[in-house]
């Protein structure tokens, strides 16, 4: 089995991780990566993308904790013209930009329950509905 890009380590746990990454990367499955701070979650997200058939398309990382809650929805899903004050033109969201590639929702557990419900819909049926 080929090593993962960027991920270093020969420990059996890294070997098991390597096998799992190759397995899920071949599929369009949504992957939840959990672990202690600094254990390489972002590295694994990158590896999943690079080992996948989507590697030639963009990987779009979104730090959900760094974007104000009231902006996050339109940032992710995009918005229509006039959806809210200042929305002078329609704008594509991160999901649209990641189309054909991968989206990495960093710190997704910090988003509101309301937004998580909307995320679930998108992840289940693969369609985004822009705000407004």
Number of residues that bind ligand ATP (CB under 6 A): 11
- Interactions with ligand ATP, residue window 27-86 (CB under 6 A): 35, 37-43
By CB under 5 A, residue 42 contacts Mg ion: yes
Kindly give, in sequence order, each residue whose CB lies less than 8 Å from that of residue 69, ignoring residues fewer than 6 positions away.
Answer: 111, 112, 115
99 binding Mg ion? (CB under 5 A): no
Q: How far apart are the first and last CA of the chain?
A: 47
Q: What's the token pair of residue 113?
A: 């329950």
Q: Which does 37 bind (CB under 5 to 8 A by kind): ligand ATP, Mg ion, none?
A: ligand ATP
> Alpha-carbon dihedral of residues 70, 73, 74, 77, nearest 10 degrees?
180
Please, are residues 90 and 78 in contact by the beta-carbon 8 Å criterion? yes
Q: How far is the CB of 10 from Mg ion (least distance, A)?
A: 23
Q: Residues in the site for ligand ATP, rule: CB under 6 A?
A: 7-9, 35, 37-43
Contacting positions for Mg ion (CB under 5 A): 41-42
């Amino acid at each position: 089995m080929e090593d993962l890009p960027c991920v270093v380590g020969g420990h059996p746990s890294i070997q098991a991780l390597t096998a799992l990454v190759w397995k899920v990367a071949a599929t369009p499955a949504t992957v939840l990566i959990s672990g202690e701070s600094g254990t390489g979650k972002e590295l694994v997200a990158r590896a999943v993308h690079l080992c996948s058939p989507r590697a030639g398309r963009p990987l779009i990382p979104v730090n959900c904790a760094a974007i104000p809650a009231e902006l996050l929805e339109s940032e992710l899903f995009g918005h229509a013209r006039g959806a809210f004050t200042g929305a002078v033109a329609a704008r594509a969201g991160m999901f649209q930009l990641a189309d054909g590639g991968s989206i990495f929702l960093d710190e997704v557990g910090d988003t509101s329950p309301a937004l998580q419900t909307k995320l679930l819909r998108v992840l289940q049926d693969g369609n985004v509905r822009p705000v407004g």
